[in-house]
Amino acid sequence: MIVQPEPIAALDPHAVLGAVSDFFGLSLAQLSGDLRGRITWPRHEAIYALRTLTTLSYSQIGKLFGGRDTKTIMNSCQRVTDRLLSDEEYGRTIERFVAYIHAWDARPAGADVISIARRKMNSPDAEGIAIALITVASILTDRRLTDAEARLGAMQVVGGKIHG
């Protein structure tokens, strides 16, 4: 199966890079740097994700990757596309990768978490609110949880409904 999602302007390129970094366990500096080896394919896949999930041009993506030229960025996208055409298992991996990026992007931002917790906590006790905020933020940023699990856990802490 070939994964060719339509570009979606709503996905923030920096959120995509954060998700890619987390997915592969690499820093943003490693992804955009000159290192090769185990970083080469994750870099290709990060470039592919930015090209297919955002509206960034090849040259804009190149700037995010240390000033790489358009031809290099196009080559990375083509390498991923070629592998998708020839390797079905790789296609399933890219599907999981894209789903991970969407789940990462769907999580509420830290400011949203604070706003929700402040509205929902009725205690004037600053320490109680701080503990609730830390707990909710920890739950919502735990990448081991699915989006639904994170939202449910956060709802239990603040005692209400969290909207995405």
Alpha-carbon span 84 to 69, nearest angstrom: 23
Alpha-carbon span 138 to 66, nearest angstrom: 32
Q: What tens-digit pLDDT sequence spans the chain (164 residues)?
A: 445 555 444 688 888 888 888 888 888 888 888 777 878 899 999 999 999 999 899 999 999 998 999 999 999 999 999 999 999 999 988 888 888 887 776 665 554 555 555 555 555 566 666 666 667 677 777 777 776 677 677 666 666 544 44
Alpha-carbon span 158 to 103, nearest angstrom: 21
pLDDT tens track for 69-82: 999 999 999 999 99
Q: Give long-range contacts, CB 8 A cutoff, 24+ apart: 38-42.
A: none
Residues whose CB is less than 8 angstroms from the CB of residue 72 and which lie 6 or more positions away in sequence, other chains included: 62
